[in-house]
Amino acid sequence: MIRFSVNGQQQELDLETDMPLLWALRDGIGLTGTKYGCGQALCGACTVLVDGQPTRSCQIRLLDVAGRQITTIEGASGKVAEAVQQAWTRLDVPQCGYCQSGQVLAAISLLTENRRPTDADIDAALSGNLCRCATYARIRAAVHEAARALA
């Protein structure tokens, strides 16, 4: 039995402890906003926040999140999350949208720690989150717009 918090709610799952968190979230809890992309922690589609830090859920074992706080796109809330989500919507960032839950969570983490990111800060924080549609310019613009809204 593994106990941890997901989006502010305590979870207790009786699953294999070496199961990737991604599958526990999707199949064990039913939270499908976290996407499977590459399965090798290279694309960022599976990004969630573990204790506030962007983490590839395809590569972290269920055992490794015992007692920790997990935030998925479904649970992203608060002032920073709202600013990011509103900027994403206003600037029509996604095309296909597949990578966006990971992109949004990485942006939330960045703006939680740095309310005045430079282009280089944004590129560094989101560099591991790939977008097949190449909306990187809109992603960067949305992060800047969210930062201005938080100022």
The pTM of this model reads: 0.95
Q: Are residues 66 and 100 in the same domain?
A: no
* CATH classification at residue 70: 3.10.20.30
Q: Are 68 and 49 in contact (CB under 8 A)?
A: no
Q: Are residues 46 and 9 in the same domain?
A: yes
Please report the pLDDT score of residue 102 as a whole number: 97
Structural domain ending residue among the three candidates 75, 103, 134: 75
pLDDT digits (tens, 9 = 90+) for 26-68: 999 999 999 999 999 999 999 999 999 999 999 999 999 999 9
Q: Are residues 40 and 90 in the same domain?
A: no
pLDDT band, residue 80 (cuts 50/70/90): very high
Q: Could you tell me how many helices (H) and strands (E) the chain has, helices first?
A: 5, 5
CA distances from 140 to 27, 32, 37, 70, 106 (A): 32, 25, 21, 25, 12
Q: Are residues 10 and 54 in the same domain?
A: yes
SS3 106: helix
Q: Are 79 and 41 in contact (CB under 8 A)?
A: no
Please report the pLDDT score of residue 134 as a whole number: 94
* CATH classification at residue 100: 1.10.150.120
pLDDT band, residue 125 (cuts 50/70/90): very high
CA distance 105 to 89: 15
Q: Are residues 63 and 84 in the same domain?
A: no
Q: Are residues 34 and 56 in the same domain?
A: yes
Please report the pLDDT score of residue 86 as a whole number: 98
Tally the domains of the chain: 2
Q: Are residues 53 and 85 in the same domain?
A: no
Residue 101 CB: number of other CB atoms within 10 A?
24
Domain with 34, as residue range(s), is 2-75
Q: Are residues 61 and 92 in the same domain?
A: no
Structural domain ending residue among the three candidates 42, 75, 108: 75
Structural domain ending residue among the three candidates 75, 95, 121: 75
